Structure 1
Amino acid sequence: MILHRRALLGATVLLATPAVVRAQNSWASRYPELVFAIIPSENASGVTDRYTPFTRYMSERLGTKVTLRIANDYAAVIEGQRAENIHIASYGPSSFARALMTGAKITAFAIETNLDGTKGYFSVFYVKKDAPYQQVQDLRGKNLGLVDPNSTSGNNVPRFALNKMGIKPDEFFGRVVYTGSHENAIIALNQGTVDIAANWWNDENESNLLRMARKSMVRAEDFRIIFKSDQIVNSPMAYLDSLPEELRTAIRTAVLDMPQRAPDVFNAIYEGKQGPLQAVDNKAYDPIIELNRFVDSLRRQ
């Protein structure tokens, strides 16, 4: 299941001009432009602010234009990589697993890490601070806010957890609402459209709620957690297997080097709240594939 707006690329980031780098790359003529896409975890302006410095950095490092694409929903990223229209993508765990399950020829190459070195986060259920509910079972007949059918912390883990509680969401809750993004789920809860909302949470120092509070969208103290899941493997970046090996290596190196080579770019994305990206492969997401299959089986019941 992704701030400082001042991130500008300094001369220390650049190893060579794009023209020089392009001349050195055998794949450059085949890929005059690469598309980087990201799932919609927040509003479009927030994603643009967060990732425009990243695409500039990648353009300079690779010597070819890297274009940011903000997807309308999680499925759009999956389909874009299946169709090979999206060369690099930032996923949530479940959406990446879904892409593999539906035939996308892609490989995870970088995983987010936490400041303590761990590589996981949590799904939580929030309610309003002053609401009378102490546990999920207290919300019978109330409205549940989920994020997207392909969201890990915003749908699949919550549905898995509810099943363990013996709760069938469509029968237990008055309505189940997909809000489209983690930010929208919190907004729906704040406005009273839903009474309980699923979201992602790293630790006491970082969560989607805290990011929203830093942008003055909500007050974090107006909400409280009534359920926290087991830890979920962190989100990956993935590229197309069809890209030339030299290009895939260049992409992977540029991303993994980013905290050291371009700390302002890295901090624009993570606000100093996460550790450096580390290498990963598809096997790390085998448990998420199994989670997706389990949730799919629930929907068929």
Structure 2
Amino acid sequence: MRKICSDNRAQLIRSKRVELAYIGPAAYARLWIITNGQVEPLAKPVDLRGAAGYYSVVIVRSDSSYHALDDLKGKKFGFNDPNSTSGYQAPKYYLRKTGYDIDTFFATTIFTGSDDNNITTLLSGAVDGATSWWQDDSRSAIKRVEDKGLIPQQSVRIIWKSPMLPSDPRVAPTWLPERMRSDLRDAIVSMAKDDPEALRALAAAGNLARFVAASRRRLPRHRWDSAS
């Protein structure tokens, strides 16, 4: 199986090369716009604690003097990837909404390419703050990098957290027959009951408990990357 980034999966849906994919919330918002709404969310994952979302966070080194966003004014800052929901699109949008223009607030910004890179770059001192994703103390990019032994335990702290971002939806294009989309949704939502082995395979890298039906009303249709 070839790993394809969220934006490329969205493009495969748009070009009618795939009929079912999971994509990030920001990629979904862009796909909704460029297809004039011709994409439908079918289901979204729910974790073992019942949460159907996660957060974008701003992190700093625990031994730094930074305790709030204002402390990072004029500092160096790291983002994950331009197409990442939690690593760039959502924090850019929400920070600007609250008066922090990332183009002028920070002295310099860089893209490090991944959550792991962003966190290790922060620990190296190359940046003063960075973005990451966080669900709870037991599940986050920070915890994953700690578990890998790439950074010491408790070496970073969170100083900002976004509103909850929706979990990555499983989506299908609306050019599929409505009955097929309905059947796909039912199969995904009933997986925990009807095919627990398949669900366990999907949950191998995380804490997936089940899928629930997704609604367009619960997913973003604005473009986070167009926030001003």
Length-normalised TM-score, structure 2: 0.85
CA distance in 1 between counterparts of 2:151 and 2:175 reads 43
- RMSD of equivalent CA atoms: 2.4
SS across alignment from 1:70: coil
- Structure 2 equivalent of residue 276 of structure 1: 210
Q: Residue deviations 1:194-250, cap 9 Å, x none?
A: 221111111122112212333334344111101112222222111233334565445
Counterpart mapping for 1:93-172 below 5 A: 93-103=25-35, 105-172=38-105
SS across alignment from 2:190: helix
- Structure 2 equivalent of residue 241 of structure 1: 174
Q: 1:75 to 1:91 in 2, by over 3 A?
A: closer
Counterpart mapping for 1:41-52 below 5 A: none
Identity %: 30
Task: Count residues with an aligned counterpart.
Answer: 224
Q: Is the CA contact 2:93–2:227 (under 8 Å) kept in the aligned structure 1?
A: no
Structure 2, unmatched stretches of 5+, are none
Q: CA offset at residue 165 of structure 1? A: 4.3
Length-normalised TM-score, structure 1: 0.66
Q: Which moved more, 1:153-162 or 1:242-251?
A: 242-251
Q: Is the CA contact 1:147–1:181 (under 8 Å) kept in the aligned structure 2?
A: yes
Q: Which has the larger radius of gyration?
A: 1
Q: Residue deviations 1:257-290, cap 9 Å, x none?
A: 33342143133132xx3431111132221xx223
- Verify: 1:264 aligned to 2:200, yes or no: yes
Q: Residue deviations 1:119-169, cap 9 Å, x none?
A: 232111011111111111112222211223333222233123322443221
Q: Residue deviations 1:47-87, cap 9 Å, x none?
A: xxxxxxxxxxxxxxxxxxxxx4422x543222222112233
Q: CA offset at residue 177 of structure 1? A: 1.5
Letter in 1 for 2:40: T
SS across alignment from 1:118: coil
- Structure 2 equivalent of residue 77 of structure 1: 9
SS across alignment from 2:130: strand
SS across alignment from 2:16: coil
Q: CA offset at residue 107 of structure 1? A: 1.4
